[in-house]
A and B are shown apart, each in its own frame.
Chain A
Amino acid sequence: MNETIVARQPGRWQLRWAVARQEMVNIARHPYYLVSFGIPIFMSLAFALFVSALGETDELIVAVYDAGSSDWAATLAKWEDVTVRMVESETAVHTALDDEATAGILIPAGFDTAVAAGQSPELVVYVNQEARNDHIAIVTRRLSDALWTMGEAPPPAMISWQETNARDGGLTFSVEEYIVVIFVILGICMTTMGILAQIIVEKRETGSLPALLASPLTFGDLLWGQSTAVFLYTMLLSAILLALNGGLVGNVGVTAVSIILTTCALLALGLWFGLWSQSKNQCNAYTGVMGIVLVIPSWFALVPPENLSLPLTVGLRLLPTTYLVELLNQSLNGTATWTTAGINLLVLGMFTAVFFGLVRWRLQRQPVW
C-alpha cells in the first residue's frame, strides 16, 4: 500500500507509561477501586471526629513557673496558638506535664537582670515526650525565637532541656503516631496489593489481553504499566493519610522511603495474586486474607517487644509491614536517622527483591500468557 506507517515504534517506557495512564483512568472510574482508596481516608476522618467528640483537646499547653516575676514571661504570654499557663510552683509545672502540657518552663529569679548583664542564665525547659511531635516542634521554635529577641551574642540564656514522661523505647508509640501507622498500613495493604491483582485479573477475564499483546506492547510492559498506576495511587493515598493524621513530622525522608519500599513489596504480592488467580473472586479472597495478615504488625505497635511471645515475634519478623511499623515509629518521633533506619530499610528492600524475584521465576516457569 502507498501510505506508509505514520509513526515510528515507541520505546519501552513510552508503552509502559501509556498503560499506566489508561489504568489510572480505569481505576478512577471504577466505583469499587475508588472505595478501596476512600475507606482509609474516610476512616481516618471519622476517627478524628470521634476523638474530638471524646473531648480530647488539641490545645498546646505550656506551663510556666516564673520565680522572680520576670518581664520576659510576658512575651511568652503573647504566643498565639499556644496556651501559656502561669503556675505557682515547680511541682505545679510537673503536675501540668503529667496532665497534658507539652512543655514546662522554669524561669529563675533574677532572670532579666542576669540576661541584661550578659551572664547567660540557665533556663530549664521540660519537654513532655508523650506530647504530639508537631507541638514539641512548635514550642522549641517559639522558645528560641523568644530568647533571641532579648539579645544576640552572647546567647541570652542557656536552655537546659529536660525530658519528662520519656518512653521506654522499642515499639511504643504515642496514640497520635499509632493512628498514623494504623491508617497508612491499612491504606497500603488494602489498595496496593488488592487493586493491582484485580486489574491484572480483569484483563484476562474480559479477554482484552490478546488484543493488547497484538500491539507492540509486551506482557512485561503491561505489568509494568499497571504496577506504576497503582504505585502512584498508593503514594497519593499515603501522602493524604500522613497529612490528615499529622504524620508529616520527624524524619519525613525515612517515612517516605519506608512507605515506598513497602509499597513495592506489596506490588510484587499483587502481581503474584493477580497473575495466578483464576477469577476476580479468588483474587479478592487471597488478597483480602493477605491484607489482614499484613495489617497485624500495626496492632502490636503499642506493645513493648519484650511482652510478645517468641513465636509471635518470629511470625511478625516474616512480615514486611513489621519493619514499616518500626521505621514509622522511629521516623515519626524524630529519632530515626539514615543510619538507625538503615537495617530495617535494607530488610524491606530485600523483601521487595525476593518477592519480585519469585514472581519472575514463576512467570518464566509457568507463563500466564
Chain B
Amino acid sequence: MIEIKNLKKYYGENNAIKAVDDVSFICPDGQITGLLGPNGAGKTTTLRMIIGLIKPGAGTVIVDGRDVTREPGKVRQLLGVQADATGVYTRMSPREQFRFYGRFYGLRGKQLEERVQAVIDELHMQDIADRQAEGFSRGQRQKIVLGRALVHNPPNVLMDEPTNGLDVMAVRQTRDTIQAMKKQGRCVLFSTHYMDEAERLCDNIAIIVGGHIVAVGSPEQLMQQTGQSRLEDAFVSLAGREYLTYSDYGSQPADGQALPVAGD
C-alpha cells in the first residue's frame, strides 16, 4: 500500500513552477490506481517522489508503513519501478539484465535464476531472453524495463505511462500484465493520459492537473459525480477549468489566480 500525503515539489526561481502542489491519495493493495493527467500535470514528478528519486519539498510518502525519506533503501526494496523504455543495456540480454537488477535486491544463486525465469515466462519473453538487446523494438525494450521492475517480486509496482508508444498487441499484453499483478495482490500505481485505459483497468483514479489533485474515486464514482457516461467527459468537466489554466496550453499564474484564457 502506498499513502501519499500533502506532497509538494516546486521548481524555478521563487518556486514559480509548482510541479506538484499538495497532492494526497492512497493506493490500496490488490487494486490498480491510475494517476490521470495531461502533459506537464506532475505525474512523473509525483512518481519520482514516491520512489525517493526526488526529495519532496513537503509532505510524506508511506509505502507499506515505511517513510521513503527516512528509509529509502527499505522502500525501494518494496517497490518495482518501470519508468521508461529507455535505459536498456544494448550489450546485455534481457536475462542478464534481470540478473543484474535482481542482485540489487539481494537475490542470488538459485533463487535469482528462478525469479529471472519466472519473469521471462510471465512476460512471454522466451524467444528474446538470451539475445543481446541491441536493436530491440520499443515493445521489447518495454518488457525488459518491466521485467527488471518485477524480478524481486515487489508488493508494490509503479509504472509511468506503461503503454506509451506501443502497438495494439503490446498494449494488450501490458494491460494483461497489469491485471495479473492485481490478481497477485500487488498494489499497482500507474500514470497515463489515456482515458479508455484508465476506465478499463483502474479501481481508483486520481486526476491531477497543474500539480493539483482535482478528483479521486473509482471510474464509476467520477462519472456519477459529473453526470457523464464516459470517463473522458467526466475528466474534461472535472479538469476543464484547471486544465486550461495550468496545462502547457494555458499560462501558469504565479499567485494561483487564473489568467483570462484566450477566446474567453
Contact = CB atoms under 8 A, between A and B. Distances in A.
B152 A5 contact: yes
22 contacts: A2-B185, A3-B155, A5-B105, A5-B153, A9-B74, A9-B77, A10-B106, A15-B104, A22-B89, A25-B91, A26-B91, A207-B86, A208-B86, A208-B88, A210-B87, A211-B81, A211-B83, A214-B53, A214-B81, A214-B83, A215-B104, A216-B76
Q: Which bracket fits the contact residues of B?
A: 35 or more
B53 A213 contact: yes
- Among A3, A206, A211, the most chain B Cβ lie within 10 Å of the Cβ of A211
B65 to A, nearest CB: 14
A2 B186 CA distance: 9
A302 to B, nearest CB: 42
A106 interface: no
A7 to B, nearest CB: 4
Interface stretch (B95-103, B231-239, B248-256): B95-103
Contacts of A15: 103-104
B178 interface: no
Interface of B: 29-30, 48, 51, 53, 73-74, 76-79, 81, 83-84, 86-89, 91-92, 96, 100-101, 103-108, 111, 115, 132, 145, 148-149, 152-155, 184-187
Given A10-B103, A209-B87, A214 B51 contact: yes
A18 interface: yes
A1 interface: yes
Interface in A297-326: none
A209 B81 CA distance: 12
B253 to A, nearest CB: 30
A1 B153 CA distance: 11
A26 B92 contact: yes
A9 B145 CA distance: 21
Nearest to B51: A214
A9 B78 CA distance: 10
B83 A210 contact: yes
A278 interface: no
- Among B106, B108, B186, the most chain A Cβ lie within 10 Å of the Cβ of B106
Nearest to A221: B104
A271 to B, nearest CB: 21
- Among B53, B87, B101, B105, the most chain A Cβ lie within 10 Å of the Cβ of B105
B80 to A, nearest CB: 9
B81 A1 contact: no
Contacts of B76: 214-216
A214 B79 contact: yes
A5 B78 contact: yes
Nearest to B103: A18
B89 to A, nearest CB: 7
A207 B86 CA distance: 6
Contacts of B145: 211
Given A3-B153, A6-B153, A215-B104, A30 B91 contact: yes
A217 interface: yes
Instruction: Give 8 nearest A-B pairs by CB, closest first.
Output: A1-B185, A208-B87, A207-B86, A7-B106, A214-B81, A18-B103, A10-B106, A215-B104
A113 interface: no
B83 A7 contact: no
Given A14-B103, A215-B101, A7 B86 contact: no
B107 to A, nearest CB: 5
A29 interface: yes
A157 B149 CA distance: 77
B64 to A, nearest CB: 10
Contacts of B78: 5
Contacts of A207: 84, 86-87
Contacts of A8: 106
Contacts of B84: 207, 210-211
Contacts of A26: 89, 91-92
A299 B96 CA distance: 44
Interface string A207-244: 11111111111000000000000000000000000000
Given A1-B186, A5-B78, A6-B152, A216 B87 contact: no
B105 A215 contact: yes
A10 B105 contact: yes
Contacts of B91: 25-26, 29-30
Contacts of B88: 206, 208
A209 to B, nearest CB: 7
A8 B152 CA distance: 10
Contacts of B89: 22, 26, 206, 208
Contacts of B108: 7
Contacts of B105: 5, 7, 9-10, 215-216
A171 B202 CA distance: 75
